Chains A and B, each alone.
Chain A
Amino acid sequence: MSARILVRVQKEGFDASAEAAVLTQGRGDIGALVSFTGLCRDEGGVLAALEIEHYPGMAEEEINRAALEAASRWPLEGVVAIHRYGLIRPGEPIVLAITASAHRGEAFAAASFLMDYLKTEAPFWKRRHLAGKGAGDWVEAAAQDHAAAQKWRA
């Protein structure tokens, strides 16, 4: 395994193309780059923001474990995984998963795996802030996310 792995947990936003360039700069062997950005939705106008709580230390470690597992399952050249915390407004990015490989099949699969794993194993919790009402309820874990993560365990 020789994949370059870059993991960050941060309050600030990120520039997906700049992060991707870190993996591809000066490389002639990468034929496929998959970049997934998860954004905050406004849920039909009712959501003012998402507040994301995390477990400092474990969050970084858990994302790193996911990236390492992706790199052990597929022949990757690089992985970038960034997850934000704090208050995030609709339209702003929350999470970034980039995978680089020689061929697209591996890059797509690894990016999908990484996101499924992040959603169910990385210690982050979202809470809704409703327009004009402030802090609201905690987002409940979705059964479909759990099922999506389980399929990689088969």
Chain B
Amino acid sequence: MKALYFSWVRERIGKAEEEIVPPENIKTVAELMAWLSGQGENYAAAFANIKTMRAALDHTHVRHDALIQNAWEIAFFPPMTGG
């Protein structure tokens, strides 16, 4: 699936998007974040404060316990500051 990163999440990871292939046993957004955290120091830094991280599956905001299922795109970002 495609993973997108925004704002300081993008900066800490060092890329705006990538194709990721998480293991079969990763079912939820929280599990995916834990798995990504183990992919390198940059990922660990980006996901250091899981509580503040926001996620969207296929352009829709989701909670951390949401199931990823067949989503084609997941995005991670800090709380929004538009308007």
Contact = CB atoms under 8 A, between A and B. Distances in A.
* Main DSSP-derived SS at the A contact region: mixed
Contacts of A62: 59, 61
Interface size class of A (residues with CB under 8 A): 20 to 34
B83 A125 contact: no
B7 A95 contact: no
A83 B82 contact: yes
A115 B82 CA distance: 10
Given A53-B6, A58-B75, A138-B7, A125 B59 contact: no
Interface in A50-100: 52-55, 57-58, 61-62, 83, 94-95
B45 to A, nearest CB: 15
B52 to A, nearest CB: 9
A121 interface: yes
B56 A122 contact: no
B81 interface: yes
Interface string A25-42: 000000000000010000
- Give the interface residue-count category, chain B: 10 to 19
A3 interface: no
Contact of A122 (B4, B7, B78, B82): B82
A55 B83 CA distance: 14
Of B4, B7, B77, chain A has the most CB atoms within 10 Å of the CB of B7
The 7 A-B residue pairs whose C-beta atoms are closest, nearest first, are A124-B82, A119-B83, A141-B79, A125-B7, A58-B59, A139-B81, A118-B83
15 contacts: A52-B82, A53-B6, A54-B82, A55-B6, A55-B59, A58-B59, A61-B59, A123-B6, A123-B75, A123-B80, A126-B81, A127-B7, A140-B79, A140-B81, A146-B79
Interface of B: 4, 6-8, 56, 59-61, 75, 77-83
Given A125-B80, A145-B83, 8 more contacts: A55-B75, A83-B82, A83-B83, A95-B83, A120-B80, A123-B77, A125-B7, A126-B81
